Amino acid sequence: MRIDRIDHLVLTVVDIEKTCKFYSQALGMEVLTFGENRRALIFGKQKFNLHEKGKELKLRAKSASPGAVDVCLIVENSIEEVVAHLRSVGVTIEQGPVERAGASGTIMSVYFRDPDENLIEVSRYVG
């Protein structure tokens, strides 16, 4: 077997509307409603499915909880543009820009938290 890419992951959140607003404003993700009024955040060829705490689907992570995710997202923008945009929409940057090791080489990253305290790293490959 050989894995090609991640299709989606699930975020367990306290408030789906607040989460949709944050990710669409801060990261430009598209909000999608599908199935039986389920919500997802679309970006590139991936998505984050959203589960509301206490109303999760039956098949889920054993310890699904808000604030349990630490994810790195790669952008095409310069890291300076990322910082300026995040500040313009009121997002507090916890760290960065800092150099890190990405899956395919060196990245410059900024770190911040979403409304559920998940750690979000937004990065751009160097070079």
For residue 5, the model assigns a pLDDT of 87
The model's pLDDT over 1-19, given as tens digits with 9 standing for 90+, comes to 887 889 999 999 999 999 9
What fold does the segment set 8-125 form as a domain?
Answer: 2,3-Dihydroxybiphenyl 1,2-Dioxygenase; domain 1 (3.10.180)
Give the bridge partners for 43, in sequence order: 46
Instruction: Please give the single-letter amino acid code of residue 45.
Output: K
The CA distance from 68 to 82, in Å, is 24
The model's pLDDT over 39-88, given as tens digits with 9 standing for 90+, comes to 999 999 999 999 999 888 888 888 899 999 999 999 999 999 999 999 99
Single out the catalytic residue among 36, 80, 81, 121.
121
For residue 58, the model assigns a pLDDT of 86
Query: For the chain, what are the domain ranges?
Result: 8-125
Q: For residue 103, with 0-12 CB atoms within 10 Å meaning exposed, 13-18 middle and 19 or more buried, which class applies?
A: exposed
Q: Is 117 a catalytic residue?
A: no
The CA distance from 78 to 63, in Å, is 36
The model's pLDDT over 115-126, given as tens digits with 9 standing for 90+, comes to 999 999 999 999
